[in-house]
Structure 1
Amino acid sequence: MNQMNGPASPLAPSSAGGAASTFRLGVVQTAAPVLGGGLVGTVLTYVLVAATGGRMAAGELWTWVSAAMLASVVVLVLSPHYRVELSDNFLILRGGRRRDIAWRDIIGIEVRKTAGVRTVVVHVSDGRRIPLRAPMSLLDRRFDDKAQVLVDWWTARRGSPDRV
């Protein structure tokens, strides 16, 4: 299985016919939004205390901030380990549960940009649009290569009548 979040080598030029690939978010990609939220929460707490003229001791404030940061770390550790796997017959989404999408049921793959972060969205024949959590462009210089691997796999497998 090809681990696609390593920093060293580029993706193979034609991964569509190669070994199955797996896309996962890196630790920093997972932690950045949570830590950013913790930072924003901390700033808002300081602003709220200052705006209300409340008297909160530094130790008390530190306890609240520490609890928020600890909660952020716990969320990271306990969250399901989401990944996207490519097999010959299916695009497999794993996280809290497993979801298999047959390549023949996928009618389109697009890259969508939201709040400056690009993600892959899979369009399915029943009208659903399924955003993939991995790969994502946040802190990943190889996002375009990974998105192209997904498109290559879909292109190579979508129309074969002998595939299940």
Structure 2
Amino acid sequence: MNAPAGPFPPGPHGLVPTFKLGMVQATALLLGGFLCGTALAYLLVEVTGGHMTAAELWSCLSAAVVASVVVPALPPHYRVELNDNCLVLRGGGRREIPWRDIIGLEIRKTVGIRTVFVQVSGGRWIPLRAPMSFLDRGFDNKAKVLTDWWGVRRGGPEDV
């Protein structure tokens, strides 16, 4: 779950760690989102005076379950890679944030799930989709590796 795809921790100029959500994490998050969305839709139908039959509710729940099984089986979309020059965010494109442009890292807790936020030199906070503490006992170790990489490399690649 939420395992790095490379050695942990890596040596300089070697393979770099890549953090991504594990299949169980992605499935649980997706299923929870679909179930909450279905419950909200059902509640809205009831509040507005409409009615959703048991068959319609079953259809919504079935779609949620099927999607929660199929979507995590697809190739991983979001991941975070650490390399000597920058933090690489992948998913819907590629974004590189040079270590020297990162002025802060913070672990924030939202709805009981801890995630890492990166503050860039413009003051903007960027949430990282991985690593996350949901169903991952190794989160603290992964967050420490990320923090250590930033601490060593924030002066620039010539300092490594």
The interval holding the TM-score normalised by the smaller chain is: 0.7 to 0.9
Separation of aligned partners in 2, 1:101 and 1:91? 5
Percent of aligned positions that are identical: 60
- Code of the residue aligned with 2:127 in structure 1: it is P
Give the structure 2 partner of residue 147 of structure 1: 143
Question: What's the CA shift string for 1:22-81, capped at 9, x where partnerless?
Answer: 00001111111221133335555776788869583x545433432343345555456861
Q: 1:127 to 1:31 in 2, by over 3 A?
A: same
Separation of aligned partners in 1, 2:114 and 2:76? 21
Provide structure 1 residue ranges, at least 5 long, that are not aligned to the other structure: none
- Code of the residue aligned with 1:153 in structure 2: it is W
Q: 2:81 aligns with which of 70, 85, 93?
A: 85
Rg larger in structure: 1
Separation of aligned partners in 1, 2:36 and 2:110? 19
Question: TM-score, normalized by length of structure 2?
Answer: 0.77
Give the structure 1 partner of residue 128 of structure 2: 132
- What is the aligned length? 155
Higher relative contact order (CA 8 A, sep 6+): 1
Q: Secondary structure in 2 aligned to 1:144?
A: helix
Question: TM-score, normalized by length of structure 1?
Answer: 0.75
Question: What's the CA shift string for 1:86-123, capped at 9, x where partnerless?
Answer: 01001000000100000011111110111110000011
Q: C-alpha root-mean-square deviation of aligned residues, in Å?
A: 3.2
Question: In the alignment, is residue 120 of structure 1 matched against residue 116 of structure 2?
Answer: yes
Give the structure 1 partner of residue 154 of structure 2: 158
Q: 1:76 to 1:4 in 2, by over 3 A?
A: closer
Separation of aligned partners in 1, 2:121 and 2:46? 54
- Code of the residue aligned with 1:23 in structure 2: it is F
Give the structure 1 partner of residue 20 of structure 2: 24
Q: 1:64 to 1:131 in 2, by over 3 A?
A: closer
